Every structure is written in C-alpha cells, then in structure tokens.
Amino acid sequence: MISHDIATRFQLPFLADLYKDIEKKYPVLKALKPNDIPYDAKSSFSLYVNHRKTFTGITDEDRSLTMREFASLVQQTENMDASKALPIFGQQFRSPGHVPICVASEGLVNSRKGHTELVISLLTMAGLLPVGSGCEMMGDHGKALSPEDAQKYARDHGYVYVEGRDIIQAWQQWSK
C-alpha cells in the first residue's frame, strides 16, 4: 500500500485502467470488471512485483524481501522525479510478481474509505513513510477473526487495536 505521490513517482497505473485499455482484445476483462465495489468505483490495485533477488517470489521470505526492498526504494528515491526513479525501480523489481502494489487515492480517506487509504492515512499521521502492507487475521477455523476476537488477540499480545472509523475520525481532526 502506497501513497498516490509514490505511485506518480513510479508511474504506476491502476490495474482496472490497464484492463479497460485492453478489454476489446481480452473480453474476459470486461466480464470481470470490478464495478460492484461497495465503497468506490474501482480497486486500488496496481502492478504485482517481485524483487529481482527473489527466486519464485511466492515464499514468505521472498514476499518479505520484496516489501522491505520496495520501502527502501521509496526512501532512496524520495527526492527524485519519475525520470530518475523509474529506471532504479526497473533495475530492482520485475512484474508480474507476487506482491500487489495498492495505490491510495489522492484524498486518502476523504475520497475513498478502503484499506489502502486507511493504512496510508495512519502512516501519514504517524509521520512514517507512506508504504505499508495489509493482511487479514485468520483464526484456527480458517476464516477471518471477528472484530471481538481480533480485539482479544491484540489485548493478549500487547497490540493496539484500531477500527477503520477511528482512523477516519482521527484523520478528519489531524488534516484540518
């Protein structure tokens, strides 16, 4: 998950836009159009990447390497424009890969209330690099934990539990 500014630096397209551009050639893409997302008109997914030092890219170690190195690349290119950042990106990463890049909307939670915007809003308020990742907490039953079970897990392990609505409310106060 990255900020809109980082996506601009690396000229990252939305996957939905790429699909739309080629749906005449590949009609399946039109059939699979994500036009029923309850909170927005399109998904935040962009390209899927692997770091070039990965083997298959699918192992936890490979995915972790890809995510760490992408965050490092973002820091390394922070003051560069696309003409300088893009070649470095291409030297270090390849696509397709196993790690999806999700791009936050420009207005963050003011314009879209997806997980990507929630994460980037939280990182921005904390003064951290606006690069994050997300995953669902799974229970032993193979399904997502209920909010109550996730809260209990957080309490039992000394983590902070934050609801999306809490992030949105904090953002509204912080961004005034």
pLDDT for position 176: 84
CA nearest neighbour of 30 among 14, 44, 19: 19
- Phi then psi dihedrals of residue 138, to 5 deg: -105, 140
What string of pLDDT tens digits covers the 176 residues of the chain? 999 999 999 999 999 899 999 999 999 998 988 888 776 667 899 999 999 999 999 999 999 999 999 999 999 999 999 999 999 999 999 999 999 999 999 999 998 889 999 999 999 999 999 999 998 899 999 999 999 999 999 999 999 999 999 999 999 999 98
d(CA 107, CA 41): 15
pLDDT for position 154: 95
pLDDT for position 163: 94
Contact 10, 110 (CB under 8 A): no
pLDDT for position 35: 81
Looking at the structure, give the CATH architecture of the domain made up of residues 4-107.
Answer: Alpha-Beta Complex (3.90)
pLDDT for position 42: 74
Q: Which residue has the tokens 């799974």?
A: 138
Q: In the chain, what are the domain boundaries? A: 4-107
pLDDT for position 90: 97
Tokens of 8: 């601009």
Neighbours of 44 (CB within 10 A): 25
pLDDT for position 37: 79
